[in-house]
Amino acid sequence: MSELNTIAVKILEKGKGILAADESTGTMTKRLDGVNVPSTPENRLLFRETLFSASCMSECIGGVILYDETIKQESSKRNKIPELILEMGSIPGIKVDTGAKILAGSTNEKITEGLDGLRERLKEYYKLGAKFTKWRGVYNISENYPSKLSIQSNAHALARYSALVQENDMVPIVEPEVLMEGEHSANDCFEKTSEVIKKCFEELILHKVDLKGIILKPNMILAGNKSKVKISNKEVAKLTLKCLKNSVPTEVPGIAFLSGGQSEIESTENLDLINKINDTDFIISYSYGRALQQSALKFWSRDIDNIEGTQEVFNHRAKMNTLAAQGNWSKDLEI
């Protein structure tokens, strides 16, 4: 096994998942505003450090995606945040894209930027302790979208990013997210997601990316949030697994789903059902943001000094998702 493959597998082994704590300052401010907590650097750090020092980190969370602000901060014990994460038995990572901007030539779609200066930034993040990275491409679904231009442009960016990351001895998380917003059916989502993922791997191979040293972070196959025709959770699982088997090369060691607007319970249940029927060699786990943090954030906002209580809420959610990543979750376990 290559060193990159070893890191990728370690992040997702034994049902472990990834905590996506890489919200930008703007996004984190919206989250904190939503629970009436001032968005200061100190409060953003306090909430994140509360999660990073929870007991579930060693048994459930294999990796943490950080934001540029957080990876450079110190914990209350005066050690660097990446050091805290390592001490808790997890692996620090970093979001390296600079956000999705309007795509020239298709102004209703977006292209993720951040390739300029990326090689230099990666060297800095590696020195700060990052062992893996994340880059997210986003795609709309409608009658005309995603366009060939959007699919090609984002796949090309994801591949260039991945090649640079591996050049710097880190594991790239490749995140092509077909968005849930819209009136599209689950079959539309299946077709478009399959097309998007296949194009990503065409570009990754063209750019000589080692597929054994990446983690794929896709969306599940869901009907749009405005669709009148929903499908069952079991159908979500079947279609999602079918999409992966048809679109993802077998060399890829692990797939960590994004929650993509699903509720905490829904994202856990769907992950569990996928693993109950998983007949592939892929490790299939989670890389959740809100679906791991939302209940903990609400609890914490009532008393930001109640560290232990907040950690209990977070521990529960993490344990539920780790059970789901092993196909061992049931609703009876929820509190």
Catalytically active residues, by annotation: 175, 217
Residue of 46, 4, 6, 16 lying closest to 28 (CA atoms): 46
What's the rounded Cα separation, in Å, for the pair 248 and 254?
10
Pairing, β 106-112 against β 100-103: antiparallel
Residues 154, 176 contacting (CB under 8 angstroms): yes
Torsion 30-107-154-194 (CA) sign: positive
How many Cβ atoms from other residues are within 10 Å of residue 34's Cβ?
Answer: 12
Tokens at 263, concatenated? 């509720």
What's the rounded Cα separation, in Å, for the pair 14 and 7?
14
Torsion 248-252-254-258 (CA) sign: negative
Q: What is the DSSP string of 221-258?
A: ----TT-S----HHHHHHHHHHHHHHHS-TT--EEEE-
Residues 254, 8 contacting (CB under 8 angstroms): yes
At position 75, the amino acid (one-letter code) is: S
What's the rounded Cα separation, in Å, for the pair 299 and 262?
20
Residue identified by tokens 């409608």 is 142
Element holding 92 (H helix, E strand): strand 91-95
What's the rounded Cα separation, in Å, for the pair 94 and 134?
6
For residue 94, list its beta bridge partners. Answer: 66, 133
5: phi then psi, degrees, rounded to nearest 5: -65, -40
